[in-house]
Structure formats: C-alpha cells, structure tokens
C-alpha cells in the first residue's frame, strides 16, 4: 500500500500555501455575507437561514482546495445567495402567510404542566433535549410551567405559574435523580414519564389514559425558585 500516495500524493508547499490563501479569502467572504444578513448568533437562525448557510458553505468549500475552481464564480454565487435571502425576507415581512411557510410557526409544547400531544397521541419533539432546556432555566418539574413554546429559531420560551399556583408535575431532572417505574409500589401522586399527566395512583400497573404509556415517576410539587 502506497501511504505517500494516500496521504500526500502530489501535494507540496506551493499547493499548501495556495489552499491557505484560498481558505482565508473564502472565509472572509463568508463572514462578510453573514454580517450583511444582519444575524448575530446561531440561536437566531431559522431553518430557512440554516439552509442558506449550508448553500453558502457549499459554494465556499470547493474554491478553498480545488485549484481548478476559480474564486470569482463563487463570489457570484455569494451575491446570488445574499440577493435571494434579502428578497425572501422582504417578502416575508410583507406577507404573514409567506412568512409562516418560510420560517414556520411557534409550537406550544407544554400547556398547564403537561406535554401537548399531536392527534396521534405522540410528542412532536425529543423529550430529553427539551428537558435539558428546562433545567437550564431552573425548572425542576413540569408543574411549574404554565406554557412552553418552541420558537422558530430553536429557542424555547417558558411562562410560569405563580408559586401559589404551582401544581404537582413530572420531574425533569436526569435519571440519576428521577426514579421511573412501570409498577407502583407505594400509593401517591405520580406523573406519566411521557406526557406529564399527573394524578393519584394506587399500587400496581397503570396505563396513562392520555398517551397509552406505562412508565411513571413520583410527582414533585415544589415552587420554582427565581
């Protein structure tokens, strides 16, 4: 096996220098285009804008290390992407329906301490990832949350119950601090580990009437500390 052919081939110092120069040029133009888009952070990007970034990366990638690809055609692609982006955002600002198609709509994922299910009784998001978002906001259990909304840019907005109105809810702590069980050994308040439905359960096995799941966790009822 020719290791030099695999790793180096006809690569030399001049080729390395050319790649460095091409990469710096394209990287600067990527930064300039992102700056022109008006966005300040990844958390502000919608799905549409992520698609624009992917297209931008594809246009920038080839001229960085393919000596047969000139830089100027890629800059034309950059200009077209920026013009297309500006046109679509202008149209979205003028038409709410078009904006909804382009950017999507906010989605309510928690309402009154329970996960909102779709018409098939399924949760429309990854529960563990969402629970991590809740822990990052100092939320200990779902009974503290009146409303949770997944925004179009991927962030999550929470609206809380006042302390005196907090109700028992599903813990969002990691598995090391939450005991899940499929059979209740002690009577008390329990929450469905899938949808957050909460109520008193006696000993034995139970199926959640809301989502059909069988795993439960002991409910928490502590107020949220701000």
Gyration radius of the chain over CA positions: 26
Q: Which of 18-22, 65-69, 186-190 has the lowest mean pLDDT?
A: 65-69
Among 144, 118, 125, CA closest to 198: 144
**CB-based contact 116:149 (threshold 8 Å):** no
Q: What would the mean pLDDT of 24-42 be, rounded to a whole number?
A: 64
Q: Between these two residues, 49 and 38, which has the higher pLDDT value?
A: 49
pLDDT score of 61 more than 80: no
Query: pLDDT at residue 48 above 90?
Result: no
Given a contact cutoff of 8 angstroms between Cβ atoms, the answer to whether 64 and 90 are in contact is no
Per-residue pLDDT tens over the stretch 113-151: 999 887 666 766 677 788 888 998 899 999 999 999 988
Q: How many CB atoms lie within 10 A of CB 26?
A: 23
In degrees and rounded to multiples of 5, residue 30 shows phi and psi of: -60, -45
pLDDT at 5: 57
Element (H, E) at 100: helix 96-103
Q: What is the mean pLDDT of residues 219-225?
A: 86
Handedness of CA 78, 83, 84, 86 (dihedral sign): positive
Predicted structure pTM score: 0.63
Give pLDDT tens digits for 172-195. 988 767 888 888 989 999 999 998
- Which has the minimum average pLDDT: 11-15, 73-77, 117-121, 185-189? 11-15
Pairing of strands 204-205, 198-201: unpaired
**Range 86-96 average pLDDT:** 83
**CA angle in degrees (0–180, nearest 5) for 135-137-140:** 45
Among residues 172, 160, 63, 159, the alpha carbon closest in space to that of 127 is found at: 172
**Among residues of the chain, what percentage have pLDDT more than 70?**
77
Average pLDDT, the chain: 79
What's the pLDDT at 74? 73
User: 159: helix, coil or strand?
Assistant: strand
- 89 three-state secondary structure: helix
């Amino acid at each position: 096996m020719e290791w030099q052919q695999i790793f180096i081939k006809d690569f030399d110092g001049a080729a390395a220098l050319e790649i460095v120069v091409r990469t710096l040029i394209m990287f600067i133009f990527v930064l300039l285009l992102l700056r022109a888009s008006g966005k300040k952070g990844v958390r502000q990007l919608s799905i549409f804008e992520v698609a624009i970034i992917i297209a931008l990366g594809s246009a920038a990638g080839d001229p960085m290390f393919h000596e047969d690809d000139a830089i100027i055609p890629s800059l034309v692609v950059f200009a077209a992407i920026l013009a297309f982006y500006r046109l679509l955002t202008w149209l979205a600002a003028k038409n709410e329906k078009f904006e909804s198609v382009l950017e999507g709509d906010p989605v309510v994922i928690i309402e009154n301490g329970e996960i909102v299910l779709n018409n098939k009784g399924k949760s429309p998001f990854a529960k563990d990832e969402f629970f991590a978002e809740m822990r990052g906001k100092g939320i200990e259990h779902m009974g503290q949350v009146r409303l949770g909304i997944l925004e179009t840019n991927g962030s999550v907005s929470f609206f809380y119950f006042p302390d005196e109105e907090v109700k028992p809810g599903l813990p969002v702590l990691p598995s090391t601090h939450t005991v899940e069980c499929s059979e209740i050994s002690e009577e008390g308040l329990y929450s469905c580990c899938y949808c957050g439905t909460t109520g008193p359960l006696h000993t034995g096995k139970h199926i959640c009437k809301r989502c059909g799941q069988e795993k439960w966790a002991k409910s928490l009822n502590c107020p949220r500390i701000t």
